[in-house]
């Protein structure tokens, strides 16, 4: 038989007609988290409105996890549809454990774009300040590694040519074949140009 430890609770700010619905197996530790964690919506609301955090009121208890998930959703929908309270819950409820909203790739791209637009002047100022503070070190790094990079590039190009020389020759042959009329015309013009210069 499945254990029944889940509880549904609410926090009510009557003077602001605001409510929060939650679900927990351990009301005492969950209440402490709501009161002390700055990331909690209930903590933020109480802090921003300069009021004492309300007490936790258990409205349902002795539920299985599945029942708790469904009842949390039910109570959030109930208070939203009732229209009497502003419901603090951002999601519709039913998250198990510490699950959070899953963002799509498009959401992440939009967030990055917005963050860059909002902070591009700050970023440029920081980059400039960093460069001015470390320009000697940066120049020294590039001077120190420039010869190494040149040697690496030469070695890489040599290896690439050895691996691809047959392909390159074939590609060149095909290009010459496809453009032979243009090449003949170019050679003819060069000869005429030399005659005129002589």
What are the tens digits of pLDDT across the range 79-134? 999 999 999 998 766 555 444 555 567 777 887 888 888 888 888 888 888 888 88
Residue 72 lies in a domain: yes
For residue 7, give every residue at least 6 positions away whose Cβ sits within 8 Å of its Cβ, in sequence order, or none.
Answer: 23, 24, 25, 27, 58, 60, 61, 63, 68
Q: What DSSP state is assigned to residue 101?
A: P
Q: Tokens 């030399």 label which residue?
A: 194
pLDDT at 145 over 80: no
Compute the average pLDDT of residues 124-150: 82
Identify the pLDDT of residue 97.
47
Q: What percent of the chain has pLDDT over 70?
A: 92
Containing domain of residue 73, as a range?
6-87
Q: Tokens 């899953």 label which residue?
A: 102
pLDDT at 40 over 60: yes
pLDDT band at 1 (very low <50, low <70, confident <90, very high): low
Nearest to residue 89, comparing CAs of 123, 136, 40, 52?
40
**Between 154 and 197, whose confidence is greater?**
154
**22 within 8 A of 75, measured Cβ to Cβ:** no
Residue 188 lies in a domain: no
Residue 29 lies in a domain: yes
Residue 77 lies in a domain: yes
pLDDT in tens, 180-190: 898 888 888 88
Residue 19 lies in a domain: yes
Q: What's the rounded Cα separation, in Å, for the pair 41 and 33?
A: 11
Q: Does residue 157 sit in helix, strand or coil?
A: helix
Identify the pLDDT of residue 198.
65
Residue 133 lies in a domain: no
The answer to pTM > 0.95 is no
pLDDT band at 59 (very low <50, low <70, confident <90, very high): very high
Q: What percent of the chain has pLDDT over 90?
A: 42
Total domains in the chain come to: 1
Residue 64 lies in a domain: yes
Identify the pLDDT of residue 29.
93
Q: Where residue 22 sits, what CATH number does that domain have?
A: 3.40.1440.10
**75 within 8 A of 21, measured Cβ to Cβ:** yes
Nearest to residue 71, comparing CAs of 4, 18, 1, 2?
4
Residue 173 lies in a domain: no
């Amino acid at each position: 038989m499945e254990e029944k430890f889940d509880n549904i609770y609410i926090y009510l700010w009557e003077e602001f007609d605001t409510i929060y619905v939650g679900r927990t197996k351990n009301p005492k530790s969950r209440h402490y988290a709501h009161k002390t964690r700055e990331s909690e919506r209930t903590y933020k609301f109480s802090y921003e409105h300069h009021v004492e955090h309300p007490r936790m009121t258990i409205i349902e208890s002795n539920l299985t996890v599945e029942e708790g998930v469904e009842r949390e959703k039910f109570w959030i929908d109930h208070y939203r549809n009732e229209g009497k309270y502003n419901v603090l819950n951002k999601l519709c409820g039913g998250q198990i454990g510490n699950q959070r909203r899953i963002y799509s790739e498009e959401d992440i791209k939009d967030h990055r774009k917005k963050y860059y637009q909002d902070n591009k002047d700050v970023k440029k100022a920081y980059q400039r300040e960093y460069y001015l503070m470390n320009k000697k070190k940066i120049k020294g790094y590039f001077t120190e590694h420039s010869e190494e990079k040149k040697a690496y590039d030469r070695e890489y190009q040599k290896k690439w040519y050895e691996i691809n020389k047959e392909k390159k020759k074939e590609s060149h042959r095909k290009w010459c074949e496809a453009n032979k009329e243009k090449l003949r015309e170019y050679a003819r013009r060069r000869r005429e140009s030399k005659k005129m210069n002589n």
